[in-house]
Structure 1
Amino acid sequence: MDLRQLRYFLAVAEEKHFGRAAQTLNIVQPALSMQIRALEEELGGALFLRTSRSVELTEAGKLLETEARRTLEQAEFARRSVERSLRGETGTVRIGFAGNAIFSGKLMRDLRLFRQHYPDVEMILQEVPAQQQVEAILAGQLDIGYTPDHSKTLTGGIQVQRIGDWKILVALSDEHPLAEHPQLTVEMLSGEPLILYDAHDTHEKLYLMLSQKLKHDLRIAHRSDSSLSVLAHAAAGLGLALVPEPLQQVNIPGLVYRSLNDSEMTANLLMISRDGETKGAIKAFLLLASQDASLMTKV
């Protein structure tokens, strides 16, 4: 017994006539009659009382009519559910973010865009330190990560897309002597206690560039995996924080931002995910976010 036989059976039950049912199904009547006979043989009895003028359901036929409708409705529901899943219209996307993702506006823009196109997909947001995102994605605890570049993003099995670049600013206490200058140079940072976002470990571009430019005068006083913690240290006068330009939106009493006269000192934002992702909702999110990043680049 298959779905096609059930559809044929219901057509005959509704039309009460093999000829009209065959026309409705757009098949020849002998083929329809053969399928109904095969169904009756499989079930072990008659489903219709046939006369020269009409066809009526037997008691067994009436029972099958109810169950056949239920089965076909469930099959249609299953088909639609799978199709929606494959199109990315249902499911869950778990997103980890760190650093500049929120303040840059990129994460918020991606979330709103995805919600507009896929309103039935559940999105779960979680702040996750940059270097923990890769492990969480590979372990299946996260699906997508927004993170600055760091050494672990080169891990096998991780897909990486660069989605943003910004200038580096210096955040410092308004009582610091350097706050009098509207623009700072790297040389002015010599010997000063610096505060870095923890993603920039010894393998990172920012740290290496500072090492090359300041050499023995490089002094890292604090590291943190929280953007607000970095700014709080700077506002308290515990050092100079090197932060991406979008963080200047954060207004903390006693904290000021100064531009850095060095075009090489930049911060980036990556979107990372699993290689060979198969879940429809995750693939749809990655596609929309990638298209948005491409449009931003062109502008």
Structure 2
Amino acid sequence: MDLRQLRYFLAVAQEKHFGRAAQTLNIVQPALSMQIRALEEELGGALFVRTSRSVELTEAGKLFQAEAQRTLDQAEFARRSVERSLRGETGTVRIGFAGNAIFSGQLMQDLRFFRKQYPDVEITLKEIPPQQQVEAILAGQQDIGYTPDHSKTLTDGINVKRIGEWAFLVALSNEHPLAEHPYFTFEMLSGEPLILYDAHDTHEKLYLLLSQKLKSALRVAHRSDSSLSVLALAAAGLGIVLVPEPLKQVNIPGLVYRSLSASELTANLLMISRSDETNGAVSAFLALKSQGQG
């Protein structure tokens, strides 16, 4: 028994005539009759009572009509569901993000645009430290990451797209002696306790540049993987932190922001994903971004 035989059976049941059913199906009548006989032989009994003028369903045929229609409806539902999934119209996109994705507005902008195009796709969001995002994506725990550049984004199997770039600012307590200055230079950070993101380890661009500029006067006092945490530490007077420019909209009591005179240093935002992505919804999200949408 196959779906074609079910369609043939239902056509005969609807038309109550083999000739008209064959015309509806666009096949010759002998082929239709042969398929119905094969179906009846497989089921072990007659589905139709045949007369010279019409065809009527037997009791078994009436039962089979309901089941056959239900089976074809389910098959059509399955076909359309899979097609929608392959087009990215359904499914789930799991996104990990670092703080700058939120404060820059980039993530929300992308999500709003994607939701308009694919309203039935489920989106899950989770704040994940930058260097853990690569591991989560490769392990299949997340699909897309919004992260600043760091050494692990060069990992095999990870696609990288730059989606934002900003200047760095200095954030510090308003009671700090240097808070009266409208802008900072690297030299002004010499010997000051600095607060760094965990992602800015000894291999990263910011740390290397600070090491080059400050040499032995580089003093890292605290580290954290959260934007709010580094800002809170700075507001408490525990050190000075360099943050991407979009974070200046975060208003924390006792915290002030100052410009940093360092054109050679910028903060960026990347979108990372698997190179061999097969999830239709994830592919649709990435395609919109590749087309410059969102």
Quote how far apart the aligned CAs of 1:205 are.
0.7
C-alpha distance in structure 2 between counterparts of 1:265 and 1:177, whole Å: 24
Quote how far apart the aligned CAs of 1:285 are.
1.6
Aligned ranges for residues 180-195 of structure 1 at < 5 Å?
Answer: 180-195=180-195
For each residue in 1:112-162, what CA deviation from the matched residue of structure 2 results, as whole angstroms up to 9, or x when unmatched? 112212222211111111111122222222111111111222222222221
- Say whether the 8 Å CA contact 2:113–2:293 is kept in structure 1: no
TM-score (ref. length: structure 2): 0.95
Quote how far apart the aligned CAs of 1:246 are.
0.2
1:105 aligns with 2:105: yes
Cα RMSD of the aligned pairs, angstroms, is 1.5
1:276 aligns with 2:276: yes
How many residues end up aligned between the 2 structures?
A: 294
Point out where structure 2 has 5 or more consecutive residues left out of the alignment.
Answer: none
C-alpha distance in structure 2 between counterparts of 1:185 and 1:104, whole Å: 24
C-alpha distance in structure 2 between counterparts of 1:295 and 1:213, whole Å: 39
Aligned ranges for residues 39-78 of structure 1 at < 5 Å?
Answer: 39-78=39-78
Q: In structure 2, what residue type is equivalent to 1:147? A: T
Quote how far apart the aligned CAs of 1:255 are.
1.1
- Say whether the 8 Å CA contact 1:99–1:130 is kept in structure 2: no
SS in 1 for 2:237: coil
C-alpha distance in structure 2 between counterparts of 1:228 and 1:59, whole Å: 72
Partner of 2:217: 217
For each residue in 1:177-227, what CA deviation from the matched residue of structure 2 results, as whole angstroms up to 9, or x when unmatched? 322222211122122211111111111011111111222222211111010
Aligned ranges for residues 189-268 of structure 1 at < 5 Å?
Answer: 189-268=189-268
- Say whether the 8 Å CA contact 1:163–1:290 is kept in structure 2: no
SS in 1 for 2:221: strand
Identity of aligned residues (%): 83
- Say whether the 8 Å CA contact 1:195–1:220 is kept in structure 2: yes
Partner of 1:87: 87
- Say whether the 8 Å CA contact 2:234–2:255 is kept in structure 1: yes
SS in 1 for 2:103: coil
- Say whether the 8 Å CA contact 1:99–1:148 is kept in structure 2: no
Deviates more, 1:171-180 or 1:233-242: 171-180
Q: In structure 1, what residue type is equivalent to 2:94? A: R
Deviates more, 1:132-141 or 1:196-205: 132-141
For each residue in 1:60-117, what CA deviation from the matched residue of structure 2 results, as whole angstroms up to 9, or x when unmatched? 2112111100110110111111111111121112111113110011111111112212
Quote how far apart the aligned CAs of 1:295 are.
5.8
TM-score (ref. length: structure 1): 0.94
C-alpha distance in structure 1 between counterparts of 2:118 and 2:94, whole Å: 14
Partner of 2:174: 174
Partner of 2:96: 96
- Say whether the 8 Å CA contact 2:148–2:269 is kept in structure 1: yes
- Say whether the 8 Å CA contact 2:210–2:218 is kept in structure 1: yes
Partner of 1:27: 27
Q: Give the ranges of 4+ consecutive aligned residues of structure 1 lying more than 3 Å apart after TM superposition.
A: none
